[in-house]
Amino acid sequence: MLRRQRWHTWNTLDHTLTTMASEQTIDGAAAIPSGAGDEPFLGLLDVALLAVLIGGAAFYFLRSRKKEEEPTRSYSIQPTTVCTTSASDNSFIKKLKASGRSLVVFYGSQTGTGEEFAGRLAKEGIRYRLKGMVADPEECDMEELLQLKDIDNSLAVFCLATYGEGDPTDNAMEFYEWITSGDVDLTGLNYAVFGLGNKTYEHYNKVAIYVDKRLEELGANRVFELGLGDDDANIEDDFITWKDRFWPAVCDHFGIEGGGEEVLIRQYRLLEQPEVQPDRIYTGEIARLHSIQNQRPPFDAKNPFLAPIKVNRELHKGGGRSCMHIELSIDGSKMRYDAGDHVAMFPVNDKSLVEKLGELCKADLDTVFSLINTDTDSSKKHPFPCPTTYRTALTHYLEITAIPRTHILKELAEYCTDEKEKELLRSMASISPEGKEKYQSWIQDACRNIVHILEDIKSCRPPIDHVCELLPRLQPRYYSISSSSKLHPTDVHVTAVLVEYKTPTGRVNKGVATTYLKNKQPQGGEEVKVPVFIRKSQFRLPSKPETPIIMVGPGTGLAPFRGFIQERQFLRDDGKTVGESILYFGCRKRSEDYIYESELEEWVKKGTLNLKAAFSRDQGKKVYVQHLLEQDADLIWNVIGENKGHFYICGDAKNMAVDVRNILVKILSTKGNMSEADAVQYIKKMEAQKRYSADVWS
C-alpha cells in the first residue's frame, strides 16, 4: 500500500493568554484661545466619560445585533478544560493522573485516519465521564500499561491501521514487537481495539486482529468487541457504527449512567497575530522554520528535499488521458535509493479552490494566526505549523479536496441559519439508516469536498479558523520509483497518470498531486522544484542476478519494473550473468497509452526482456494480462516452480492483483500437482522467502 505517514501526539504546551486593548481618539474639539478666561462647556474628564459611554453603547448594540444574526446552536462549541500540571514526556500514566483522566486512546497511523479516529474517541469520552487523551505509542513508555489498572475506571483503546503486507505502522512498530515478544502480565488492563484496513489486501486488518487477541492472552480484559474498518468500502460508517455500540458497553462495564448532553468541543483556540515578524511566519515548511530556504540533510518526511524537476514530458500519444514521465534531481541531497523504493512528494492545493474557500468563509486569507491546543498535556501544540496565514494553511497544510467525514458535517451544521440545511447535515452525520444512505449518496458518491458542501449549503458559513481545525492534514503522495540508481544515481524517475474526472454534480475534480506536477514544467532555464523524500521498500530484485523473475505491471504498474529492467540491463552490460526477465504489461491501445514503448522494445532486441503485452481495446474481445498469464502456465511453472524464480505484481489491488493471485494458485495446482490449499501455502512460503512481492494500491 503506497500511502503512509507518521504523526505525533502529546507534550507540554505553554498556555498563552492574550489581552486586547482598544484606543479611542476624539477629534474636532474647538480650540480655546489662551487667557480667554471662559471654561469649555465640557471638561476633558467629561469628554472621556462621554466617549466611554457612547463606545460601550455602540459595542452593546453591535454585539446584540451580531448575536441575533448568528445561527441558533443546540449545543455549544467550547474549549477543553484541562489540568496544566506538567509531567515527564513519555509517561502517559503521570499525565493521566495529573489531569484527572482515565481514558487513553493510542493510535497506529500512516495517513492520519487512525489518529483522527483516536481524537474523536478521546473527545467523546467527556460525555461519558471519561476524560480522555490521545497518545502516540512511539512517544510513550508502553510498559506503563501494567500500571493503568491503578487508575479508577481506566480504559485503553487502540486505533490501529494495518500497513502494506500486514505490517504495523511505523509509530506502532515498537509496541507491536513488545507485545509479540514479551510475556508481561496485563491482568487488570481494560481495553478495546478498532482496526483500520482494506479488504482488497490479503492481510486485512491483521495488526488489529492480532493485538486484540494478544492483549487477551496477556491477561487484559476486553471491554468491547474488536471493530474492523474497511477503507475499500466505507470506513467512516464502520467506525461510527462500532463506537455507537462501544460507548454503551463502556458505560455498562464501569456502571456509568449513559451519556450527557452532546457538546462539540473545540480542540484549538484562535490567536490572531498581526504583529509577528515575517521571518517567524511559516510559509509551507513541514516542520523546521526556514527549512525551505535553508536546506540541510538528513532529508525525510519532516524535512523534505527541494528536488529540481529536470524533465516533465507526456507519455501518452492520444486517447484524451495524460501520463507524465518526471525526472527529479536528488544531486547533493545525500539521499540514496534502490529500484523498487518509493519517492514521496508534498503537493499544494489548487489556488482557485483556496480562494473559493476563503470567499465562502468570508475570510481575509492573509491574516496571520495560530491555532493553539487547549490541552496543555499534548505535544501537538498546533494542528499544523504556526504562526502562518490562512492562505498558507489551506494551500500547504490541509486536505481541502478530501471527502469530509461525518464529524465535520456535525460541526458545520451548527453554523447553518437555515433549519432545513442544518437538519440535512445533522442527518448525514447520524447513524440512522436514512442518514447513512444520504451521506453515501450526497457526500461520497457525489464526491463533494468542503468547498462543494459550502457552495451547496448556502446558509452555512463557518469561521475559517474552525474549518482549519476540522480538515485533515495534507498528506504526501507516494510513487513507485521508475528508475535504477545503478544507472541514475542522482536522479529519481516518476511515472504518474493525471487524475481528473467529472462528478455527478457536474463539477470537475482534479487530483491534488498530479495536477500540481502537471503544472511544474521546467522552462527557460528556470529551476522548478518540488519537496520530496525517499521511502525504503521491501519490493526488491533478487540478491542473485541470475535468478529469473516474472513481473506483472499493467499501466503505471510498469513503473518499478522499468527500474528493475534498467538494472538488469546495466548488469548485463557489465558482463554479469542475468536470469530471464519476463514482463506482463497491459494498456488500452498500442497507439495511445503504450508507455515507454521504445525502451521496452530495445530491451527485447538486446535479449534482456521477454515482453508479453496485452492491448485490451485493440481487438473486438478485450485481452488483459490475466489472459496472457493463463496461456503461459508452463512458462510460469518453469520459473517459479522449477527454477525458484521471483514473482512480482504492481498496480490495482482490488481486481488485477486478486485475479493474478488466483491464476497463480490455479497454475500451481495443475502444473505442480498440488491441491488448492497446498498451492495457497506455496505462495505464502514464497512471500516468506521474499520470492512473491506485491506493490499494489486501491
Whether 22 is catalytic is no
| CA quadruple 234, 237, 242, 247: dihedral, nearest 10 | 150
Whether 695 is catalytic is yes
- The answer to whether residues 419 and 508 touch, using CB atoms and an 8 Å cutoff, is no
Bridge partners (DSSP) of residue 530 are 307
Q: Give the mean model confidence (pLDDT) for residues 218-244.
A: 95
User: Which comes out higher in pLDDT, residue 10 or 291?
Assistant: 291
Q: What is the pLDDT of residue 619?
A: 93
Q: Rounded to whole angstroms, how far apart are CA atoms 5 and 203?
A: 19
Antiparallel, parallel or unpaired: β 500-502 and 508-510: antiparallel
- Residue 477 clears pLDDT 80, i.e. is over it: yes
Residue whose C-alpha cell reads 487513553 in the numeric block: 104
| CA quadruple 517, 518, 520, 523: dihedral, nearest 10 | 150
Residues 496-513: tens digit of each pLDDT: 999 999 999 999 999 999
- The answer to whether residues 92 and 140 touch, using CB atoms and an 8 Å cutoff, is yes
Its pTM stands at 0.85
Q: Rounded to whole angstroms, how far apart are CA atoms 149 and 386?
A: 37
User: Which comes out higher in pLDDT, residue 265 or 171?
Assistant: 171
**Which of 141-150, 255-264, 517-526 holds the top average pLDDT?**
141-150
- The answer to whether residues 412 and 225 touch, using CB atoms and an 8 Å cutoff, is no
Whether 480 is catalytic is yes
Residue whose C-alpha cell reads 448568528 in the numeric block: 70
Of the residues 140, 361, 460, 650, only one is catalytic, namely: 650
Residues 278-287: tens digit of each pLDDT: 999 999 999 9
Q: Give the mean model confidence (pLDDT) for residues 532-539.
A: 95
Q: Rounded to whole angstroms, how far apart are CA atoms 160 and 107?
A: 6
- The answer to whether residues 211 and 179 touch, using CB atoms and an 8 Å cutoff, is yes
- In 154-278, the DSSP E strands lie at 155-163, 167-168, 190-197, 221-222, 227-230, 264-266, 268-272
Residues 320-333: tens digit of each pLDDT: 999 999 999 999 99
- Geometric angle at alpha carbon 693, from 692 and 697, rounded to 5°: 140
- In 188-267, the DSSP E strands lie at 190-197, 221-222, 227-230, 264-266
Here the cell at position 18 is 492574550
From residue 513, give the alpha-carbon distance in Å to each of 136, 396, 517, 530, 651: 28, 12, 6, 11, 18
Of the residues 291, 480, 483, 485, only one is catalytic, namely: 480
Q: Rounded to whole angstroms, how far apart are CA atoms 467 and 30?
A: 50
Q: Give the mean model confidence (pLDDT) for residues 154-177.
A: 94
Residues 264-282: tens digit of each pLDDT: 778 899 999 999 999 999 9
Whether 616 is catalytic is no
Q: What percent of the chain is predicted at pLDDT more than 70?
A: 86
From residue 661, give the alpha-carbon distance in Å to each of 324, 514, 537, 556, 686: 29, 30, 21, 19, 12
- Residue 647 clears pLDDT 50, i.e. is over it: yes
How many Cβ atoms sit within 10 Å of the Cβ of residue 44? 9
DSSP codes of every residue in 77-103: EEEPP-------TT-HHHHHHHTT--E
Here the cell at position 615 is 492491448
DSSP codes of every residue in 411-480: HHHTTBSSHHHHHHHHHHTS-SHHHHHHIIIIIIITT--HHHHHHHSTTB---HHHHHHHSPBPPPEEEE
- Residue 209 clears pLDDT 50, i.e. is over it: yes
